[in-house]
Amino acid sequence: MSWHRIFHWHFFGLNQLILVVALVVGLGLATVLLQLTELQHFEALDRFGNERLELYASTVQSAHSRFDYLPFILSGDQQVMALMNETGPVDGVNRKLEIWQKESHASELYIMDRRGIVLASSNWQFPDSFIGNDYHFRPYFRDAMAGAQGRFFAVGVTTGRPGLFLSRPIVHRGDILGVAVVKIDMTQLEKDWASGGENVWVVDGDGVIFLASNPDWKYRSLDGLTETTRSRLKTERKYSTEIISPLPLTALNDSPQGRKIIQIAGTSPGKTTQRYMMHRRPIDDLGWTLYYLTDLQELHENRRNVLIVSALIAALVALLGLILVSRIKNRQLLEKRVASRTEALNESNRRLLDEINERTKAEEQLRQTHEGLIQAEKLAALGQLSAGLVHEISQPMSAMQTFIASTRLFVQRKDTDSALDNLIDIDSMARRVTAIVSHLKTFSRKSQGQTTFIALNTVIENALLVMSPRISKSGTTLHWAPTSTPVYVEADEIKLEQIIVNLIGNALDAMGTTAPDNQGQLEIVLEKTDGRICVYIKDNGCGISPDNLPRIFDPFFTTKHQGEGLGLGLSISHGIARDFGGDLEAFDRPEGGTLFKLSLDAMKAAGATDDQ
């Protein structure tokens, strides 16, 4: 056998070896990358799911806690007590319930006697009024008649609309005369979940889904219901005529973090089977459980991308190996011809050098392609996170609308100077809204707790710019004179400005129609004493009674009428001030009105002199 045949046989075997090595490298790389990708993806999904779960749990609890006080107020009302003692008319109670229902935005309010018969209701004037209906079979009625508070989610027997029923006994001299009931419509939560593209459901103590972002999941059970449970639900008429069927759910393996991986089959035509990672959180005070489902479709796409990248890298390894073998072959051929082709040596060397240069360029291009593939994979692994805007930007947006409207008028009047001034103000507002959005996006990921040196004059001016339409509309006279030199504090500018806006808003609410001759007087004073910066906001409104003053910063405490606020503004402002190392205090003014004092540590900005 000649030497070149032996060489070709070895070359062919070497090619096979390179392909096998490339295949092994590709499989090994795919396995490692798949494991790393899945682990990182599951960790990110687990963190995100926990955050969303806590957010939605707080919204569910807030939807309930907003109305928890109403049954207590109803049960202690004098007109209601007179009706239960058969000493007062029902018409007055009906009208009072109707007014309270509209102000509180509850679904319905009604009063039941000892037998479970509705005596008065906020919907007394409608054809589907509850008056005269017998609801003694409802658990919330039985709980209240036993002297306890009742909480029960059910589909309305009369209206067919689902809601949460809160009840409380009406007690007179130790005797339970009846039951006061408030019905809350919680279906807005489902609409919010669905509009946000979220997968959320809430399960009652029987394992029945009664709130869900996907209508196909609603009124389904996670496990089959026993005959005893079905009989009880039928007696309570909890879900009216709805037929509770099991959800087509299959439990799969757990995630690396121990989360359940489930598969839900399509429950209607055109719906496909989906896989989710499940987060759950009990809502103890209601006896419910909240579930948040994370769609794993993106994980499947990542797996496919990893396989593609691994195949490309394996192909690259094979190509580099074949190039290397090809170079070895050319070199060996050249060595064999040296003896017999001395005259052609120089020419052969030039051709070989040219070929080496070309192959070197090819290797450089392959290397760059390799780096580009790695970079593309890094970019593909980055997640996109967005957070919705919150109510903090509603006031700047309203101000921008006002400026835009006035700009139109200036343009129509050809008053370009005023229009340009307005556009400058609009640009400033837009920049501020952008700063708020940027802060909220950063906060939704992870709070950094970063503060900067800011001029307090500028913060107050920005707050007044936001509140100026409301100040002007109320006819309030503003007394504010900035300090001649800037004073600096270390804080978050947007949060600090929100404190000022909250305090000005409370002052305007307090003045309302209580100021002398309906002329509100709002005064803002900025002082620097003993290394502290104090902002005083004074009004001549209704003031704060001595009994309420110690509780003014408590969460959910408010002296406003029902439906006008939850009592969180001052509590939040007080917490922000403490976070900045400052304090927020309230005083009742002897001459009438309220004084709020915000104090912060004074700072010297970079480049400022001691005089500042």
174-197 pLDDT tens trace = 899 999 999 988 888 888 888 888
Integer Cα distance of 561 and 503 in angstroms: 18
Dmax (CA) of the chain:
131
Lowest mean pLDDT among 211-220, 444-453, 468-477, 572-581: 444-453
Asked: is 70-184 a CATH 3.30.450.20 domain? The reply is yes
Q: Is 112 exposed, middle or buried (0-12, 13-18, 19+ CB in 10 A)?
A: buried
CATH class as words, domain 452-603: alpha beta
Q: Which residue has the higher pLDDT, 396 or 107?
A: 107
Q: Given a cut of 70, is residue 299 above it in pLDDT?
A: no
* Tally of CA atoms within 13 A in the half-sphere of 357 that contains its CB: 6
Across the range 406-414, mean pLDDT stands at 87
User: Which tens digit of pLDDT belongs to each residue from 446-467?
Assistant: 334 567 888 888 889 888 877 7
Determine the average pLDDT of the residues in 412-427.
85
Write the pLDDT tens digit of every residue in 311-322. Answer: 667 677 667 766
Residues 6+ apart with CB under 8 A from 39: 256
More confident residue, 117 or 321: 117
Q: What single-letter amino acid sits at 600?
A: L
| Residue labelled with tokens 């947006």 | 397
- Nearest residue to 487 (alpha-carbon basis) of 512, 439, 453: 453
Burial of 529 (0-12, 13-18, 19+ CB in 10 A): exposed
**What is the pLDDT, as a whole number, of residue 48?**
80
Structural fold of domain 187-295? Beta-Lactamase (3.30.450)
Edge-to-edge strands, sheet with 260-264? 245-246, 220-221, 208-212, 200-203, 288-295, 274-283, 260-264, 249-254
Rg over alpha carbons for the chain, rounded to the nearest Å, is 36
- As a residue count, the chain comes to 612
Using CB atoms within 10 Å of the CB of residue 155, give its burial: 0 to 12 exposed, 13 to 18 middle, 19+ buried. Answer: middle
34-38, 367-371, 422-426, 439-443 — which one is most confidently predicted on average?
422-426
- CA 502 vs CA 402, 508, 514, 551, 567: distances in Å: 20, 10, 19, 17, 11
CA–chain centroid gap for 506, Å, is 26
- The residue written with tokens 């896989």 in the block is 275
Task: Tell me which of 178 and 421 has the higher pLDDT.
Answer: 178
Q: Side by side, which strands form the sheet with 175-184?
A: 118-121, 108-113, 175-184, 162-172, 150-155
pLDDT for residue 294: 84
Average pLDDT over residues 25-36: 68
How deeply is 12 buried, as exposed, middle or buried, from its count of CB atoms within 10 A (0-12, 13-18, 19+)? exposed
Confidence (pTM): 0.45
pLDDT digits 0-9 by tens, 266-293 = 766 656 788 888 888 898 778 889 898 8
Region 554-564: mean pLDDT is 66
State the residue for tokens 């399960």. 203
Q: Report which of residues 387 and 604 the model is more confident about.
A: 604
314 backbone dihedrals φ, ψ, rounded to 5°? -60, -40
The 3-state secondary structure of 238-304 reads CCCCCCCEECCEEEEEECCCCCEEEEECCCCCCCCCEEEEEEEEEECCCCEEEEEEEECHHHHHHHH
Is the distance from CB of 111 to CB of 97 less than 8 angstroms? yes
Q: What is the 3-state secondary structure (H, E, C) of 201-248?
A: EEECCCCEEEEECCHHHCCEECCCCCHHHHHHHHHHCCCCCCCCEECC
Residue with tokens 């909480």: 151
What pLDDT sits at residue 12? 60
What residues have CB less than 8 Å from 40, skipping those under 6 apart?
381
pLDDT over 50 (residue 140) = yes
Look at residue 198 and give its three-state secondary structure.
coil
Please state, rounded to an integer, the average pLDDT across all residues of the chain.
78
**Per-residue pLDDT, 109:** 94
pLDDT given at position 133: 92
Please determine, for residue 434, whether its predicted confidence score (pLDDT) is greater than 80.
Answer: no
Reported confidence tier of residue 435, pLDDT bands at 50, 70, 90: low
Task: Read off the pLDDT band of 112 (50, 70, 90).
Answer: very high
Least confident of 179-183, 215-219, 237-241: 237-241
